[in-house]
Structure formats: C-alpha cells, structure tokens
Amino acid sequence: MEQVSANRSHGGTQGVYTHQSEATGTPMTFSVFVPDHAPGARLPVLWYLSGLTCTHANVTEKGEYRAACAEHGIVLVAPDTSPRGEAVPDDEGYDFGKGAGFYVDATEAPWSTHFRMRSYIETELPALVGEHFPVDMARQGITGHSMGGHGALTIALRNPARFRSVSAFAPIVSPLSCPWGEKALGGYLGPDRAVWAEYDACALIAGGGRLPALLVDQGEADSFLDSQLKTHLLAEACAAAGQPATIRMQPGYDHSYYFISSFMAQHVGWHAERLSV
C-alpha cells in the first residue's frame, strides 16, 4: 500500500492510498479519514460506497463528512467503484464498465477477469484497512449513494453479523426492476435472473435477509426516482418482511452531492449512535 496524499482537516487526517488488488488484478485507490485519537485507540469504521461514474474522490471532495466524523470519532473509508487501467474492458455507456462495477463479482467474459468488486469490498479491502489503520472491525457501519447505496444494502444483507448500522442516499433498491440494474447484472452475470437476486436488496429482504438498523434518504426532486431508484419498492419490501426502516423523502432535493452533503452529518451521527458501544 502506498500513500498518495495526506491532508490535515477538521482535527484529523484525510489520506488517499493505492495498492495492487488481488481481487481485481489492478491497482485500486481509496481514501481514509482518520480523526485524531488517543495512542492505541481503535475507532469504529464507516464504509462509503459511491455511485455510477464516481471514484473515491467524489465523496472525499464533496461529501462534507469530516467534521462529523471527527466529532464522533469515526474513520470513513471510500473505495473506488470499479477496476481501472488500459487492460480493463469498458463500455460506451456511463452505466456499465469502468465506474460502474455495481459491487458484483462478474461471471461473464470479458468482465469476469477484473470486475470482482464484491470480493474487493467484502474481503480484500477490509483486511487491508484492518491491518494498516486504527479501526475496530467489531464496530462497522456501511452507507452509499445510488449504485453505492445498492452496494451498501446488499453487502450488509449478505453479511448480517458484520455491520451494526446501514444507511443509504438515493439507493438503487431493486436492480431486478430497473434499466440500470438489468443492463449491469445481465452484462456481468448473464441472463439467469435468479442469479441476480443476491444483488437485489428487495429480493434479499423478501428471502429472509435482515438489517440491524436502516436509514434511507431520498430526494423527491431526483430525476431518477421513478425510473431507476424506485424507493417505494424498498419501503414495501421492509413493511412486508417486518424489517424496521426509516425511509425519509426529502422535498426539493435531487440526486447530486448537494443532496448528499446536506444529510451526511446526520447519517454519520446516526451511525455513531449504533457504533459507540
């Protein structure tokens, strides 16, 4: 692991790092904010998964989380959304290929060689962060935006013992039910929709998956709400399964980081309540 940069901010250190990933077979870049802390202390960690077209830099530069993380003593880790490099296959569309890994392990050629973001996020990166940073891996939360919200929900549902808290900003709640999801899951995993279900939050909840605590914020002025995000499907799945969830529709807010940054401190504080013990 190599340090790309380090900057003091809000009583902590914002770092950017790169390493050679075994999961993706490419260099991967991620950012970590570490609040000032007592020597030897281990801090809770909050994972933030980004959306389509994004890298670690979007939330790092525009997420406005550092003051809240410093206040609550939480480390925030923001990985990339896909493998990168000349050897990595790509697609002409913004919603598939580089920048659009969908947090799956691809099984279809040519994507299966490098697009293994599920293994990277669930296994490889946590091991690396646990080795090199002052984190308490018994106190983990996860959040994300849009495609990253989909990633946060599905990763947490598949690993219920790992995360004490789960939240999302404008998540894709059911890739089985929207064009983004159909293109990505069909391309990465093939035509068998039954295989897609382990990457669909609504299907996982209907199949018995549960979350310890769930907070979702969704902008009512989001241009993707009706066609891609379909927040009502998550509300219906949670209600049918008895899954407690706080799903807040926010009037006037869109899909951008103006929306995310407006509620980021609330999400960090909400996670802190559940990660403090």
Distance of CA 265 to the CA centre of its chain: 16
- pLDDT at position 185: 98
CA–CA distance, 253 with 259 (Å, rounded to integer)? 6
Pick the CATH number of 2-276 from 3.40.640.10, 3.30.70.560, 3.40.50.1820, 3.40.50.300: 3.40.50.1820
- pLDDT at position 277: 66
Kind of pairing between the strands at 12-20 and 27-35: antiparallel
Residues 116, 24 contacting (CB under 8 angstroms): yes
Cβ neighbours for 217, distance < 8 A, ≥ 6 positions apart: 167, 168, 169, 170, 248, 250, 259, 263, 267
The residue whose two tokens read 């899951």 is 185
Burial 185-224 (b: 16+ CB within 10 A, else e): bbbbbeeeeeebbbbbbbbbbeeebebebbbbbbbeebeb
Distance of CA 165 to the CA centre of its chain: 13
- pLDDT at position 109: 98
Residue 137 is encoded by which pair of tokens? 């891996």
CA–CA distance, 141 with 173 (Å, rounded to integer)? 18
Question: Which pTM was predicted?
Answer: 0.98
CA–CA distance, 11 with 194 (Å, rounded to integer)? 47
Residue 269 is encoded by which pair of tokens? 């504080």
CA–CA distance, 104 with 50 (Å, rounded to integer)? 14
Per-residue pLDDT of the chain (277 residues; tens, 9 = 90+): 999 999 999 999 999 999 999 999 999 999 999 999 999 999 999 999 999 999 999 999 999 999 999 999 999 999 999 999 999 999 999 999 999 999 999 999 999 999 999 999 999 999 999 999 999 999 999 999 999 999 999 999 999 999 999 999 999 999 999 999 999 999 999 999 999 999 999 999 999 999 998 999 999 999 999 999 999 999 999 999 999 999 999 999 999 999 999 999 999 999 999 998 6
Catalytic annotation, residues = 146, 222, 255
